[in-house]
Every structure is written in C-alpha cells, then in structure tokens.
A and B are shown apart, each in its own frame.
Chain A
Amino acid sequence: GQNIDQPTEMTATEGAIVQINCTYQTSGFNGLFWYQQHAGEAPTFLSYNVLDGLEEKGRFSSFLSRSKGYSYLLLKELQMKDSASYLCAVLDSNYQLIWGAGTKLIIKP
C-alpha cells in the first residue's frame, strides 16, 4: 500500500528553527508537495520538490531525497503565525496525490 508518515505534532519556540520530516512509500514518484493549513482554513501551497536537494523560499526550505523516500520542511525564524498544520503529499506514478495526515506545529512565545 501507499503510505505517507509525518509526526502528529511538534512544538517550537518563536524565533527558533524547526524541521518537519516526511517519509513516503508510494507506487512511483512524480514529486512531493508541502502545504500549510491554518485551523479551519484550506491548505495553501508552500513548495514542490521533484529532484533531490534543497529548495529555499524565504524562511521556508524543503529538502528531498528520492533514494531514501524522505523529505523535510525547514522553517526558520519562527513566527507565531507559523502555527498551523503542515501537510506532505506525494504524486504517485498515476499522478494522484497521496496525502499525509499532517503535522500540527505549535509555536510558543
């Protein structure tokens, strides 16, 4: 079966750095997405990785290792508004998105 694993919840301090991991086992791979979802709102797109390596976009970076079936989302200089759930999703060989359950990130002052 296809599976996406993420930690259920993480806590970090304002101004710090946090890394949210995602591991996947899917039938094929055509890219990995990270989405941010604030409570009660729709997910919004953060990043897309299809090649190995690190993609940096402001305070957020996303890393992919296809050989290890592993990705992480790195958030720097954390702000209170970063409190949200972060969803990892993988595009499989049929170009269907397989979603993880999300990681709830709690930022403390």
Chain B
Amino acid sequence: SQTIHQWPATLVQPVGSPLSLECTVEGTSNPNLYWYRQAAGRGLQLLFYSVGIGQISSEVPQNLSASRPQDRQFILSSKKLLLSDSGFYLCAWEPPTSGFTDTQYFGPGTRLTVL
C-alpha cells in the first residue's frame, strides 16, 4: 500500500531563517506530487506541483521554492522566511496519469510558525 510521510510535524522558525520541509511517498512510482499551504481557517492554496524528477511548476510567486531530487521525494524550501509563511503545509500525491487526474492523498502536514 502507498504511504506518504512529511517531516517535521511542527516547526517554529524566526523570520529570515531558512526552511526545508521534506515529503516522501512509498509504494508507488512516478507519482504526481503537490505542496499546499493552508492558513488558519482558510482553504488550500496550491504552491507547487511536480509530474516527474526535476519538473516543478509554481502556482504563486513567493519566496518559496520546491525541488524533486528523486522520484518519490519532494522538498519545499525557503532562503528567508517571512511572517506570512506561517501555516499548515501539506504534501499530496496522486497516481501518475495519462491526461486526467485522480484522487489526491495527503500527508500528515507540517505546522509552521514564523515568529
């Protein structure tokens, strides 16, 4: 069966510090991978998605970046965090597709607080 992991679960960082959040998927090959952010009481905001190694699409301009160094590894990074980067970060995967998409399955999330 497929599982998705995210770490850390909780993170408190000062403004201006770097960030690295990691997401890994097990039990599947070539998944589509997504990073979302959810502010308190708000909906999900798509940040990045990837359909393969080294292929990253960005949905919103920001000080965040993403990388996919391996097939089942997706990393969200920042060189300098802003207060507005606080939120609940969710990684999701879906089976590889041929023109249509399937259900997205979410990892447990990382709660980031920037002080």
* A and B bind: yes
Q: Decide: A99 near B43, CB < 8 A? Known: A42-B90, A44-B106.
A: yes
Please state if B43 and A95 are interface contacts (CB–CB under 8 Å): no
Per-position 1/0 for B75-91, Cβ under 8 A of A = 00000000000000010
Per-position 1/0 for B82-112, Cβ under 8 A of A = 0000000010000001011101111111010
B interface residue count range (under 10 / 10 to 19 / 20 to 34 / 35 or more): 10 to 19
Residue of A nearest to B45 (CB): A99
Per-position 1/0 for A40-57, Cβ under 8 A of B = 111111001000000000
Instruction: Give the B-binding residues of A (Cβ under 8 A).
Output: 4, 30, 33, 40-45, 48, 87, 89, 91, 95-97, 99-102
What are the 5 closest A-B residue pairs judged by CB atoms, nearest first? A101-B43, A42-B106, A99-B44, A99-B43, A95-B101
